[in-house]
Chains A and B, each alone.
Chain A
Amino acid sequence: MLFKVALESLKNRRSSVLLTIFALTISISLLLTVEHIRQQAKVSFTRTVSGVDLIVGPRTGSLNLLLFSVYHKGSVGSSMEYSTRALLSQNKNVEWTIPVSLGDTHRGFTVLGTTNDFFQHFKYGLNQPLQIVQGRAFAASNEAVLGATAAKKLGYRLLDGLVLSHGLGSVSFKQHTDFPFKVVGILAATGTPVDETVHIPLQGLAAAHGVKNHTQKSSFTKNIHADKHDHDDEHGHGHGHGHGEYHSSAEHQFSSIAPNPKYPLSQISATEPISAIHVGLTNPVAVLSLQQKINQNQEIPLSAILPGIVLNELWQLVSFIEHLLLGIAWLIVVSSCIGLATMLLASMRERTKEIAILRTLGAAPTRIFFLLQIEALGIVLTAILISLMSVTGMLFLLQNWLASTLGLYLTLNLFTLSTSLILLGILAVTCICTLIPAIRGYQDALTNRLQ
């Protein structure tokens, strides 16, 4: 009965109640959004790299190296020679290495020069390997494997051609038009920066640069090609001219995309500049000693970082802002709860009559207290429901945009332990703020004057 009275009473004060619900919905939505993005950002941040024990790069700050090599943000001023890879591989604890070279873009997407080791060893999330859903890995130096988002956004399909631009940024005036690439593979979506990346073989990257800039080195590389030629392109001949035909029926024939024998995956020059090396160890216990060894190496200035630890450091840095945002969102929620209390308090004047009637009918003052609390909780619960729906709707609409522009990969599920706690917290704040009008109602009921 008390619920019915509360409901009818709220309906009776429709306009002020609706306004209050509106204000509460905005603030609760804000809080939920901040909390959700905070949680998801952390998850999406930390899932970008997994199974990599060590990242080795030219001597630089650890954050810088991580940002550059994993998130493709910022820049590493210097580069190191490809020969470092062989040096690292000599260590008995090293199981695999992935060389990574950055610096070019294709229509705004990062271009990453690497080897097939990348597809084989790189892991993300909970040790999930990369998956090529269409086509195959590199078999020639003029081939490219696209991340899921990059392929989708660029509208590329297998065997489409692409040209690199020098430098980062979507508008570049220097194009490596002389060395075009061909899409041979597309990766499954990972929810990490890999999705936004165009992967090409290091040999291809060297060639694209070499044609214009490093002619000498390029020819040098070509000489080495000559030696290896025979091994790499055994199955290349005879299919070399058939590209066009594959276009229409490509879906069925990925595995048979033929590498162009003119661009074999030759040996990579030892002096080829690379940006970083991801290292996987057979024995993870050795990671600290290896890191120390690399960092203290006198001959080659190198930095080695443990991605997990640096990720945490980075998160600590961001968490200040994160807590600040959360704090502001809470303040807004509290202020709209106070707004709710004010609305209820203002309504008390017109409700003295109602309270008098309830008292006359035998309602104890505590019932009046609870009536007001029920009304407040009803308003807030409605606002919470609307907020949950609108935030879910908003995330649904913004999901793709957030992923592509901010690299934030959000799930639509808002119900986590901490959001549940936040919702309980909001209800608690409501009860506390409503104490003011509820106690006022209680006192009115006690000193009730029948007129």
Chain B
Amino acid sequence: MDKLAAIHIQDCHFAYTPESPILHIPSFIVEAGTTVFLRGPSGSGKSTLLQLCTGMLIPQQGQISILGQTISTLSASARDRFRATHIGVVLQQFNLIDYLSVQDNIKLAQHFAKPEALDKHPDYLDELLKALHLSQNILQQKANALSVGQQQRVAILRALINRPKLLIVDEPTSALDEAAKTGFMEMLFRLQHLTDCTLLFVSHDMRLTQGFDQVIDLADINHIATSSMSTAHTGITTAKIKTAKGAQ
């Protein structure tokens, strides 16, 4: 309790319609500065959990605190502003607006953040570009002219441009080939180290768990079992035993 948790969920209930509850999470904590692998196949309520963490949805019951801020009680516009300023998000796809240049995509992220939170350091962008093996002139290109790998790396850059304390990454590698996946994970860890942010990495691909402080299965923290989840659940139960390590 000394150090504020990056994500702190308490007794959270969520349902789109009252008849079919999606999530009931009694407790879920991600310590600040750690890297967490959250395993969850699609349909397990994973996207819903991420939207709760980013303040795009609010729970019907319970409390969600992000970086010490109870976002479930903030106003809608304050939550949007909070997300823009403090949380970086990279999704499986649809990260960049196709018709805008890379530069404009990045500027867009800065546009919605609190102006005082913007990183004024001129070298920061260069630093990020270098760490992601991107060249300067990629900035002028349209997002839809980039390869999938480039797009995902630009998405990371964009997510980190406001120096967020929390980086949420959802299945970022599913469209990449094996070699690219390894490279991508390396870059991700290097950047997490560089920016000293908390990393919540969501994927169903257990081969990527290497290097994470903590591996958590969504099925273990969510007390509502969805049908698609239970079918996907079979056979991989062993994996979650490893998670005990970081769950103090």
Which residues in chain B, 92-135, are within 8 Å of chain A measured between CB atoms? 92-100, 104, 107-109, 111-113
Which residues in chain A, 340-372, are within 8 Å of chain B measured between CB atoms? 353-354, 356-367
CB-based contact A363/B112 at 8 Å: yes
Q: Does B81 touch A at the CB level, under 8 Å?
A: yes
Do A361 and B99 contact each other (CB < 8 Å), given the known contacts A449-B47, A450-B51?
A: no
Which listed residue (B93, B107, B112) contacts A362, Cβ 8 A?
B112
For residue B193, give the distance in angstroms from its CB to the closest CB of chain A.
24
Q: How far is the CA of A357 from the CA of B95 in the complex (A)?
A: 6
CB-based contact A360/B54 at 8 Å: yes
CB-based contact A12/B107 at 8 Å: no
- In the complex, chain B residues whose CB is within 8 Å of the CB of A5: 97, 100, 104, 108
Q: Does B196 touch A at the CB level, under 8 Å?
A: no
For residue A105, give the distance in angstroms from its CB to the closest CB of chain B.
65
For residue B57, give the distance in angstroms from its CB to the closest CB of chain A.
9
Do A4 and B104 contact each other (CB < 8 Å), given the known contacts A362-B84, A362-B113, A448-B56?
A: yes
Q: How far is the CA of A331 from the CA of B99 in the complex (A)?
A: 35
Q: How far is the CA of A8 from the CA of B85 in the complex (A)?
A: 24
Q: Does A297 touch B at the CB level, under 8 Å?
A: no
Q: Does B89 touch A at the CB level, under 8 Å?
A: yes
For residue B43, give the distance in angstroms from its CB to the closest CB of chain A.
12
Q: How far is the CA of A5 from the CA of B81 in the complex (A)?
A: 19
0/1 string, A4-24, CB within 8 A of B gives 1: 110011011000000000000
For residue B25, give the distance in angstroms from its CB to the closest CB of chain A.
18
CB-based contact B94/A364 at 8 Å: no
Q: How far is the CA of A367 from the CA of B84 in the complex (A)?
A: 13
CB-based contact A12/B108 at 8 Å: no
Which listed residue (B93, B100, B111, B112) contacts A8, Cβ 8 A?
B100
- Please give me the residue from chain B that is nearest to A450 by CB atom: B47
Q: Does B83 touch A at the CB level, under 8 Å?
A: yes
Which listed residue (A8, A11, A361) contacts B109, Cβ 8 A?
A361
- In the complex, chain A residues whose CB is within 8 Å of the CB of B81: 362
Contact-size category for A? 20 to 34
Q: Does B139 touch A at the CB level, under 8 Å?
A: no
Q: How far is the CA of A449 from the CA of B113 in the complex (A)?
A: 21
- Please give me the residue from chain A that is nearest to B46 by CB atom: A450
CB-based contact B96/A362 at 8 Å: no
Q: How far is the CA of A448 from the CA of B55 in the complex (A)?
A: 12
Which listed residue (B83, B91, B104) contacts A450, Cβ 8 A?
B91
- In the complex, chain A residues whose CB is within 8 Å of the CB of B100: 4-5, 8
For residue A320, give the distance in angstroms from its CB to the closest CB of chain B.
50
Which residues in chain A, 411-451, are within 8 Å of chain B measured between CB atoms? 448-451
Q: Does B76 touch A at the CB level, under 8 Å?
A: yes
Q: How far is the CA of A160 from the CA of B152 in the complex (A)?
A: 86
Q: Does B237 touch A at the CB level, under 8 Å?
A: no
Q: Does A324 touch B at the CB level, under 8 Å?
A: no
For residue B156, give the distance in angstroms from its CB to the closest CB of chain A.
14
Number of residues on chain B facing chain A (CB within 8 A)? 32
- Please give me the residue from chain B that is nearest to A354 by CB atom: B97
- In the complex, chain A residues whose CB is within 8 Å of the CB of B94: 353, 356-357, 451
Q: Does B231 touch A at the CB level, under 8 Å?
A: no
CB-based contact B99/A9 at 8 Å: yes
Q: How far is the CA of A135 from the CA of B84 in the complex (A)?
A: 81
CB-based contact A360/B80 at 8 Å: no
- In the complex, chain A residues whose CB is within 8 Å of the CB of B96: 357
CB-based contact A357/B97 at 8 Å: yes
- Please give me the residue from chain B that is nearest to A362 by CB atom: B84
Q: Does A397 touch B at the CB level, under 8 Å?
A: no
- Please give me the residue from chain A that is nearest to B87 by CB atom: A362
CB-based contact A361/B112 at 8 Å: yes
Q: How far is the CA of A280 from the CA of B104 in the complex (A)?
A: 74
- In the complex, chain A residues whose CB is within 8 Å of the CB of B136: none
- In the complex, chain A residues whose CB is within 8 Å of the CB of B93: 451
For residue B69, give the distance in angstroms from its CB to the closest CB of chain A.
14
- In the complex, chain B residues whose CB is within 8 Å of the CB of A317: none
- In the complex, chain A residues whose CB is within 8 Å of the CB of B31: none
Most buried by B among A360, A363, A451: A360
Q: How far is the CA of A357 from the CA of B112 in the complex (A)?
A: 12
- Please give me the residue from chain B that is nearest to A12 by CB atom: B99
- In the complex, chain B residues whose CB is within 8 Å of the CB of A449: 47
Q: Does A1 touch B at the CB level, under 8 Å?
A: yes
Q: How far is the CA of A270 from the CA of B200 in the complex (A)?
A: 111
Q: Does B170 touch A at the CB level, under 8 Å?
A: yes
Q: How far is the CA of A360 from the CA of B108 in the complex (A)?
A: 11
CB-based contact B99/A360 at 8 Å: no
CB-based contact B91/A364 at 8 Å: no
Q: How far is the CA of A4 from the CA of B54 in the complex (A)?
A: 26
For residue B47, give the distance in angstroms from its CB to the closest CB of chain A.
5
Q: How far is the CA of A11 from the CA of B92 in the complex (A)?
A: 26
Q: How far is the CA of A365 from the CA of B97 in the complex (A)?
A: 17
CB-based contact A362/B83 at 8 Å: yes
Q: How far is the CA of A449 from the CA of B108 in the complex (A)?
A: 20
CB-based contact A364/B76 at 8 Å: yes
- In the complex, chain A residues whose CB is within 8 Å of the CB of B97: 5, 8, 354, 357-358
- In the complex, chain B residues whose CB is within 8 Å of the CB of A11: 99
Do A8 and B99 contact each other (CB < 8 Å), given the known contacts A362-B113, A450-B51?
A: yes
- In the complex, chain B residues whose CB is within 8 Å of the CB of A356: 94
For residue B95, give the distance in angstroms from its CB to the closest CB of chain A.
7
- In the complex, chain B residues whose CB is within 8 Å of the CB of A4: 100, 104
For residue B159, give the distance in angstroms from its CB to the closest CB of chain A.
9
Q: Does B191 touch A at the CB level, under 8 Å?
A: no
Q: How far is the CA of A366 from the CA of B94 in the complex (A)?
A: 21
CB-based contact B47/A360 at 8 Å: no
**What is A's interface to B at a CB cutoff of 8 Å?**
1, 4-5, 8-9, 11-12, 353-354, 356-367, 448-451
Offer 6 A-B interface pairs, CB within 8 angstroms, sorted by A.
A4-B104, A362-B84, A362-B113, A363-B80, A366-B77, A448-B51
Which 6 A-B pairs have CB atoms at the shortest separation, nearest pair first?
A362-B84, A12-B99, A362-B112, A1-B111, A364-B80, A362-B83
Other A-B pairs, 17, CB within 8 Å; known A5-B100, A5-B108, A450-B47? A8-B97, A8-B104, A11-B99, A354-B97, A357-B97, A358-B97, A360-B54, A360-B56, A361-B112, A362-B85, A363-B112, A364-B80, A367-B112, A448-B56, A450-B170, A451-B92, A451-B94
